[in-house]
């Protein structure tokens, strides 16, 4: 499954500076988050993401949670 995210231009430029030439952005995010606990990561990311349709995102999250519990 793939997802599209929106980030500010300045955040994108910062990510490009740490992304390796042969590395995908997905692998970059994995590498950057491997050693960080989730709450700490979320605090660091706060304000860096723009949600286009918050209600649709929340509905999808709820659906996935229900599927995982089954």
pLDDT tens for residues 19-58? 999 999 999 988 888 776 767 777 777 777 677 788 888 8
Confidence at residue 9, expressed as pLDDT on a 0 to 100 scale = 92
Per this entry, what is the length of the chain?
A: 70
pTM (2 d.p.): 0.49
CA distances from 59 to 9, 23, 34, 38, 51 (A): 28, 31, 27, 21, 13
50 contact partners, CB below 8 Å, separation of at least 6: 6, 7, 8
- Residue 62's DSSP bridge partners are none
Confidence at residue 24, expressed as pLDDT on a 0 to 100 scale = 93
pLDDT, mean of residues 12-18: 91
Tokens standing for residue 15:
């990510």
Confidence at residue 70, expressed as pLDDT on a 0 to 100 scale = 66
């Amino acid at each position: 499954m793939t997802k599209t995210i929106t980030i500010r231009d300045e955040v994108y430029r910062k990510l490009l500076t740490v992304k390796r030439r042969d590395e995908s952005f997905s692998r970059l995010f994995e590498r950057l988050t491997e050693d960080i606990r989730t709450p700490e990561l979320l605090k660091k990311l706060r304000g860096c993401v723009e949600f286009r349709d918050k209600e649709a995102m929340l509905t999808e999250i709820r659906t996935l949670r229900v599927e995982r519990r089954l």
